[in-house]
Structure 1
Amino acid sequence: MRTHRWLASLVLLLFLFGVVGTSLAASAEFERGNRLDGPLGRAFQKAAETYGVPVELLVALAYAETRLDDHDGVPSVAGGYGVMHLVSNPEVTALEQAAALSGLDEELLKSDPAANIMGGAALLAHYAADRAGAGKEMKLGDWFEAVARYSGLEGAAARDYARQVYDFLNRGIDAEVDGEEIRIEPQAVKPDEGEYAGLVSIQSEDYGPAAWVPAHSSNYTVSNRESTYPINYIVIHVTQGSYAGTISWFQNPSSNVSAHYVIRSSDGAVTQMVREKDIAWHAGNWTYNTQSIGIEHEGWVSSCTWFTDAMYRSSAALARNIALKYGIPMNRNHIIGHNEVPGATHTDPGSCWDWNYYMSLVTQSSGSWSAIVDNSTSGRFRASSNWGTSTWSSQRYGSDYRFADPAAVSDAAYYKFNIPSTGYYDIYMWYPANSGYNDKTPVVIWQADSSGTGTTPVTVHVNQRTNGGKWVHLGTFRLLAGDREIIAVSRWTSGTGYVIADAFRVVKR
């Protein structure tokens, strides 16, 4: 029944937009407009209407907090619940406030997504009422101070959080949650920062690109490393929560935990919370605490979409800086996961973390090589005029991506890489996902043949309705040295829906 409905919708779209026999560019915006017609989307709409909160803002706030994932009621490390990340701990009582404001039971707010969204809307409206003048009609840009307050942070850190939410609004949101698409069209809005305007971030003394937001003094040990202890390790963590929630948690005196650095998923922003000379409480092993620097990465172990290229590159630059500063060998014996600390009970960074790619960025050695070719990379991509160009999905890599109808024709989109030496390479694909995209997109890869002097094609099929907005590992292939087109996205498929060509990444093993 679902397939029949989808086919009927496709036929209607093809008729209305006249894509049959015409240039695909004419249909680049075939699904314009917000999409909030599923159970979760309707919950956002109802909560927004009930409390007078712009629905676009409510979705963007939830997206910044949790990527719209309630993790089946499992709280974050800070004690935050649901898609709105309603926090309950000895210092932060957002959950309890939301219950009082909405009249909903606290346990229901923890476990029911619709109730959780209603509680979040009530809390945001309450913060706005505290800031707005009596009877003031609030526009989308007037909610900045309320959003900043929702973060649980103070000063420049709260401002940066609110800026991120508005950045998501400006870019648009396209996410899939349990098979339901949630889409917010890009909003051209410049927020009024109010009391947060003009605040200056304090920069780290240890690492220039990082902001300095200190952890509570009861959550780490003051020291004078490397006089007191040598620094031999870098430990990679995943926050099991949001960037803002983690910063707030490390500032909470009841948490008894901290890390030296926290890195944001969306753009790789870095916040330092413990000086490198001091001992953060992050590894669960005192010896390793004394000898290591901990780096937390925003996200959840079970959700690969949090580990963005911006995050990898930012973290690797930080890890390389630390390793060079303290003479830490840049290898997997000294740059380790939390799960590799002796006696560890944690599983982070987990199977979603791409160690090969991360270490290639850290080492930048002649033995490690990686390259990315996007559809807009000059001289590295080619496709015929039958391939349209779109900026519609916020899950895209770079400024846009290409798309085409499936057809039994030789009309592929080609990607050219300069492979430094014959050997084994990991190949990753990046594409936006959508229910209207192809469920069996052919990706042709020219690998080295058995003689090692020529190439032979192998085809991998990718379901572009899922796993969008991240690097998807296609496999490990033996590639021949040289500058040539080695990857093609083909239109020749038995699958249905648009074939998408966005970006590829090749990493030497």
Structure 2
Amino acid sequence: MVAALLLTLVSAAPSATAEQPAPSGELQRAFAEAAAEYRVPQSVLLGVSYLQSRWDGHGGAPSVTGGYGPMHLTDARTALAGAPHHSHGSEDARGDAARAPRTSDATAVEDGGTLPARLRTLERAAQLTGISPERLRTSPAANVRGGAALLAAAQKRLGGQPSDDPADWYGAVARFSGADDSATAKTYADDVYDVIRSGQSRTTDSGQRVALPADAGLRPDTATADGLGLRTVDQGLTECPRSVACEWIPAPYKEFGAGDYGNHDKGNRPASQAVEYIVIHDTEATWDTTLQLVQNPEYVSWQYSLRSSDGHVAQHLRLKDVGWHAGNWYVNAKSVGLEHEGFLVSPDAWYTEAMYRSSARLVRYLAKRYDIPLDRQHIIGHDNVPGTLSSTIAGMHTDPGPYWDWAHYFNLLGRPLVPTAGPGASVVTIRPDYDDHRPVYTSCEKPGDTCPAHGSGAVRLHTAPDETAPLVRDAGLRPGGEDSTNGVNDTGARASTGQQYAVAERRGDWTAIWYLGQKAWFHNPRKEPTAVGARASVVAPREGLTEVPVYGRAYPEASAYPAGVPVQAVTPLPYKLSAGQEYVTGGRTPGEYYWATTFDSSHHTVVRGKEMYYEIQFGHRVAFVKAADVRVQRR
């Protein structure tokens, strides 16, 4: 356990002493010079750096695990300080009105343990190079030198010799990962060599153009990792693809008095219910804290946790069982939850490429296993899960937030978000350029304060085609009719990358979509579009209806409930889908309710009715409408 039970970054802002962006080409030269100085193949140095940071420097700001610069040299003690878990919501994680609320907020508890070596690599780099820790944190060139020195030291420790052949460095790369188990270390090295084989090139966040030519025939000497001396993880009951290093760290199913138990429900999915969603979360805590929380029977649960530094995966629940993670019982019962080590309100607390890749491989595996469409109505953020009732909307969590790179994630999923129709299409897919699109957000650190400028995959929605026009209103978040805000946790006027909406109108460089029952305008210039044309199925009120109710869960009709299972109310949210409006649908789904309120799972029952629903992209969050109320068209 590291310095405190609950940790986050001291500041989202880049360091005041961070070096100014260097002229284009200087970072590439820094890799070449460091590789020559420490006799590390340049392709290995570039490959490791790409997997850690995609060569970005983040202006000297640390990652979620206290890593700095292109090489992600870790100095967690400098980077980390206390903050509450999931401080951006107060939802009942179970989201089931049939039981007492179970919240996912935790209280900070100090623990003065020692930081593991993987969180102190910058200290070692300073010893090897003689460069000050401050310079290693703030100078990209110095940071690259530090990374090269660590790789060279790892090669020497494993008994290897300096070599110009990248194939000889597999073991050193595995050790550089900082993983404490051999499976994760080798998976990390496999990823680095995959980057080297395929090649990469991109412009970094400081405007530097960096390229790694492909070496398609490269076959690393994996035997060089045999001497790592790392532990073997307990794979136990894990359900993971072979391409992911996965460890079994079970969440407890335990009864602890007064009919209460935790921290999940036994199930029999998919025989009992189809798994239709994968929910992407961030942990709002460090790795060690996250594992402590999920092993607490009085807390809540999810299926998988992913570590930022190296992409390591821990599985906590069997996939057949139901976790308490999404704040909506209907979604919980039909989803798999993935928690990613990270902090929503720290925009420069960047996620590593290693974690993005590991997560994408896991999601591809789950999607194939359960036939889940790889789209943004089934691969959703926690911030896309609807409130169950009017009273729960305001407390719903907002992670992973506007700084999660959905476009890059879907590229890794093998489903890039490309146009499927022309620029005048009746449906659009939101897709701004993540790196260049930098809307202003507030309240990352203090209420009202402006967050550091950062790439974002979300567009802001106005009441008119004008940047000065008020933001659209969310009647659920603000029943009093107040305007939405630029707050980083305010989802009331936000459309996110990959989400699809029906076009309501176009005027010049502005596009209006149907959103929460109203026209919502976003800037969409032809030369730098923030959305692309798409084809999709949409729903609208059936003929004769002026409006239809919208729901946060798809529960069956009252007559479907057997004796002994209380009827769950089918309660509309404070929104309407009006005639003349259309919303993209994620498909037809049955009305179902999983009755699971006892520790003895033999009493659990899936109630399935005749009522059918359509899931729709109604606002930033998805919602449901009754199939009997709408007609479906292809646009």
TM-score (norm 1): 0.51
Query: C-alpha separation between the residues in 1 aligned to 2:525 and 2:320?
Result: 49
- The residue that corresponds to 1:474 in the other structure is 531
Aligned match for 1:261, one of 304, 307, 316: 304
Contact 1:371–1:507 (CA under 8 A) maintained in structure 2: no
Partner secondary structure for residue 402 of structure 2: coil
Contact 1:40–1:114 (CA under 8 A) maintained in structure 2: yes
CA deviations 1:127-186 (Å, max 9, x no partner) are: 0111234x6645211010000000011212111100110110111110101222101111
Within 5 Å, give how 1:323-334 maps onto structure 2: none
Within 5 Å, give how 1:74-473 maps onto structure 2: 74-89=61-76, 90-92=115-117, 93-133=120-160, 137-153=163-179, 154-177=181-204, 178-187=206-215, 188-196=217-225, 205-209=237-241, 211=244, 213-214=246-247, 222-223=252-253, 228-231=262-265, 235-238=279-282, 250=287, 252=288, 256=292, 260-262=303-305, 271-276=313-318, 294-296=337-339, 315=363, 318=366, 336=384, 347-350=399-402, 352=404, 424-426=427-429, 461-462=526-527, 473=530
Query: C-alpha separation between the residues in 1 aligned to 2:537 and 2:61?
Result: 47
- The residue that corresponds to 1:4 in the other structure is none
Specify whether residues 148 and 121 from structure 1 end up closer, same or farther in structure 2 by C-alpha distance, changes over 3 A only: same
Aligned match for 1:69, one of 49, 56, 62: 56
Query: C-alpha separation between the residues in 1 aligned to 2:431 and 2:240?
Result: 31
Query: C-alpha separation between the residues in 2 aligned to 1:118 and 1:237?
Result: 34
Specify whether residues 448 and 127 from structure 1 end up closer, same or farther in structure 2 by C-alpha distance, changes over 3 A only: closer
Letter in 2 for 1:222: P
Letter in 2 for 1:237: H
Within 5 Å, give how 1:30-41 maps onto structure 2: 38-41=25-28
Structure 1 residue ranges without an equivalent (≥5)? 1-35, 241-245, 362-369, 375-414, 434-446, 451-458, 464-471, 482-505
CA deviations 1:228-258 (Å, max 9, x no partner) are: 4445997522479xxxxx9xx73x5898567
How far apart are residue 106 of structure 1 and its match? 1.4
Query: C-alpha separation between the residues in 2 aligned to 1:255 and 1:423?
Result: 46
How far apart are residue 342 of structure 1 and its match? 7.8
Letter in 1 for 2:195: F
Contact 1:424–1:476 (CA under 8 A) maintained in structure 2: yes
Letter in 2 for 1:182: V
Partner secondary structure for residue 175 of structure 1: strand
Contact 1:176–1:182 (CA under 8 A) maintained in structure 2: yes
How far apart are residue 96 of structure 1 and its match? 1.1
Query: C-alpha separation between the residues in 2 aligned to 1:424 and 1:223?
Result: 45
Specify whether residues 272 and 423 from structure 1 end up closer, same or farther in structure 2 by C-alpha distance, changes over 3 A only: farther
Partner secondary structure for residue 186 of structure 1: coil
Contact 2:420–2:535 (CA under 8 A) maintained in structure 1: no
CA deviations 1:262-287 (Å, max 9, x no partner) are: 5699xxx99344334999999799x9
Letter in 2 for 1:193: T
Query: C-alpha separation between the residues in 2 aligned to 1:337 and 1:192?
Result: 45
Partner secondary structure for residue 247 of structure 2: coil
CA deviations 1:4-25 (Å, max 9, x no partner) are: xxxxxxxxxxxxxxxxxxxxxx
How far apart are residue 55 of structure 1 and its match? 1.6
Query: C-alpha separation between the residues in 2 aligned to 1:184 and 1:330?
Result: 34
How far apart are residue 123 of structure 1 and its match? 0.7
CA deviations 1:56-83 (Å, max 9, x no partner) are: 2111111001111222222222222221
Specify whether residues 212 and 281 from structure 1 end up closer, same or farther in structure 2 by C-alpha distance, changes over 3 A only: farther
Query: C-alpha separation between the residues in 2 aligned to 1:111 and 1:255?
Result: 31
- The residue that corresponds to 2:519 in the other structure is none
Q: RMSD value over aligned CA atoms?
A: 5.9
Partner secondary structure for residue 189 of structure 1: coil
Query: C-alpha separation between the residues in 2 aligned to 1:54 and 1:40?
Result: 16
Query: C-alpha separation between the residues in 1 aligned to 2:165 and 2:401?
Result: 40
Specify whether residues 83 and 157 from structure 1 end up closer, same or farther in structure 2 by C-alpha distance, changes over 3 A only: same
Query: C-alpha separation between the residues in 2 aligned to 1:143 and 1:184?
Result: 17
Higher fraction of helix: 1
Partner secondary structure for residue 190 of structure 1: coil
Letter in 2 for 1:205: L
Contact 1:222–1:278 (CA under 8 A) maintained in structure 2: no
How far apart are residue 189 of structure 1 and its match? 1.4
Contact 1:223–1:278 (CA under 8 A) maintained in structure 2: no
How far apart are residue 98 of structure 1 and its match? 0.8
Specify whether residues 260 and 80 from structure 1 end up closer, same or farther in structure 2 by C-alpha distance, changes over 3 A only: farther
How far apart are residue 309 of structure 1 and its match? 10
Query: C-alpha separation between the residues in 1 aligned to 2:324 and 2:69?
Result: 25
Partner secondary structure for residue 205 of structure 1: coil
Partner secondary structure for residue 426 of structure 1: strand
Partner secondary structure for residue 183 of structure 1: strand
Q: How many residues align?
A: 345
CA deviations 1:465-488 (Å, max 9, x no partner) are: xxxxxxx8524668899xxxxxxx
Structure 2 residue ranges without an equivalent (≥5)? 1-22, 77-114, 267-276, 295-301, 437-501, 506-523, 539-583, 587-616, 618-635
How far apart are residue 317 of structure 1 and its match? 6.0
Contact 1:203–1:209 (CA under 8 A) maintained in structure 2: no
How far apart are residue 349 of structure 1 and its match? 3.6
Query: C-alpha separation between the residues in 2 aligned to 1:346 and 1:479?
Result: 26
Query: C-alpha separation between the residues in 1 aligned to 2:503 and 2:386?
Result: 37
Partner secondary structure for residue 350 of structure 1: coil
Contact 1:148–1:158 (CA under 8 A) maintained in structure 2: yes
Query: C-alpha separation between the residues in 2 aligned to 1:427 and 1:146?
Result: 41
Specify whether residues 300 and 83 from structure 1 end up closer, same or farther in structure 2 by C-alpha distance, changes over 3 A only: farther
Contact 1:131–1:145 (CA under 8 A) maintained in structure 2: yes
Contact 1:159–1:196 (CA under 8 A) maintained in structure 2: yes
Contact 2:427–2:503 (CA under 8 A) maintained in structure 1: no
Query: C-alpha separation between the residues in 1 aligned to 2:127 and 2:323?
Result: 35
How far apart are residue 88 of structure 1 and its match? 3.2
Contact 2:24–2:207 (CA under 8 A) maintained in structure 1: no
